Amino acid sequence: MNIILLGPPGAGKGTQAHLLVSERGMIQLSTGDMLREAKDSGTEMGKVVADVMARGALVTDEIVIGLIREKLQGDKAGGFIFDGFPRTLAQADALEELLEECGETLDKVVAMEVNDEALVARITARSTCGDCGEVYNDITKPIPADGKCSKCGGTEFKRRADDNEESLKTRLMEYYKKTSMLIGYYHAKKKLAWVNGLGEIAEVHDEIAAVLDA
């Protein structure tokens, strides 16, 4: 099963993707992760990515599509989760063409609905383990009392510099401007389903599971 997770920054797409990977054997295709992996891979595509990133240039849609093509031609496991791609109509069209080329289909687009004010409050309380990237939140999931990450035992935690109210509002506006058209795009294709992105992690997971199992 191939799905897209749509949602603004901090909606919890990565967390939900990890649960689907763990429980359903799906493969998460996160644009950022793929670029970092490619940069260090030494492949021809990896060299292109490394050059672009070294120059501080923008990674083109063609490069991202090329990375996704490599993944689609490999192990398919329980299907793919597209996280952070597509962000625009042009990217959505390119992804559809690529899936068809690889004999794949897009089964569902799960949109995580959030309240912006609640989302900002949640993200400004967010921190991550410097070793494994496990996400913590001062309100909903505090760093353990012993100061050690519950996943890897690390003791270094950090907050993103742009996890502040002003930056978040700018990022949210940018997200809505770019992706609002995707909502209509996938609704018209009868692929879209909404879930409450601000529920507890388990509740959101259950909603997503119900959508996929339907």
Sign of the torsion formed by the C-alpha atoms of 123, 201, 207 and 89 = positive
Query: Average pLDDT, whole number, for the chain?
Result: 90
Q: What is the pLDDT of residues 3-15, one digit of tens each?
A: 999 988 878 888 8
Tokens standing for residue 177 = 């401007």
Check: CB of residue 93 under 8 Å from CB of residue 186: no
Active-site choice (87, 108, 141, 178) = 87
Task: Look up residue 58 and give its DSSP letter.
Answer: P
Active-site choice (108, 160, 178, 191) = 160
Tokens standing for residue 75 = 């192990």
Active-site choice (71, 148, 171, 178) = 171
Q: What is the pLDDT of residues 18-28, one digit of tens each?
A: 999 999 999 99
Q: What is the pLDDT of residues 139-186, one digit of tens each?
A: 778 999 999 999 999 999 998 877 788 888 888 888 888 888 899 999
pLDDT of residue 189: 95
- Residue type at 159? R
Check: CB of residue 106 under 8 Å from CB of residue 52: no
Q: Let me know if 24 is a catalytic residue.
A: no
Strand partners, 135: 128
Q: Let me know if 69 is a catalytic residue.
A: no
Active-site choice (24, 69, 108, 126) = 126
Mean pLDDT calculated for residue range 93-106: 95
Q: Let me know if 13 is a catalytic residue.
A: yes
